[in-house]
Structure 1
Amino acid sequence: MTKVTIYDPAMCCDTGVCGPVVDPKLTAVAAAVFSLEKKGFSIKRFNLSNDPAAFVENKKVNALLFEKGIESLPVILVDGEVVKTGEYPTVGEFAEWFGVGASELQTVKQPSNPLNVTIASPGAK
């Protein structure tokens, strides 16, 4: 069975899908990972902020960080081999690695009625 491991840069939370500005690429990755986990596939993520030991223990990831610095993150391993550095996999790449249809991993849908919030400055009427 295919095993994918993602070594994320330092982020505020495990998925990076939090805070005032959310990167759409991270949303797609989080959705794909969630979907793959639900299907029973082997996929793990390590966040440099929360799991620094994982970066030290993996010799390939440790060597990349030593040679190229944090610009090499994220590092993606498939079955223990580095397949991608410096950017996240696409939904198509996840689908290819696990032998599933890309449509099975695109679980994030845009809301039909997006939330529109206006924040007034103090003292505004």
Structure 2
Amino acid sequence: MEEFKSSPNLFYPNWDSEKHIWNESEYQNPVLDNGNLREATKEELYKAEKYTLADNEIFADGEVKTVELSECEYVENNIIKLNRKKRIEQIKNELYDIRLEYDVAPFEFEVGGLNTCRIIEVLTSPT
């Protein structure tokens, strides 16, 4: 490394210190920013079509943003969409569970809430 620092022309004959820059760090996607080398950001890679958004990422306002998605949501063409069929099934299952919960619950008498059929049933039933 010291040899390269002292005379880079030995390794790269066309080396021009005015045009070329080096750094000890290794970069997969180097960017020269104000005379400093750095790794390219997700945004820069996305714009250069070198980065594919994850299932829960969108590109908005010049930034790659991670979004929280429910079980029924997905991202398509950078827009969050709702899977209606899946959501309808989810609601049906929730309603079914609620119905089962109330059907299994024992009947409770309320003082002001008895209807005439229940009153007759209670009065005429053998004890």
Q: Which bracket does the TM-score occupy, shorter chain normalised?
A: under 0.3
Using CA pairs under 8 Å that are at least 6 residues apart, name the structure with larger relative contact order, 1 or 2. Answer: 1
Per the normalisation by structure 1, the TM-score is: 0.20
Which structure's CA Rg is the greater one? 2
Per the normalisation by structure 2, the TM-score is: 0.19
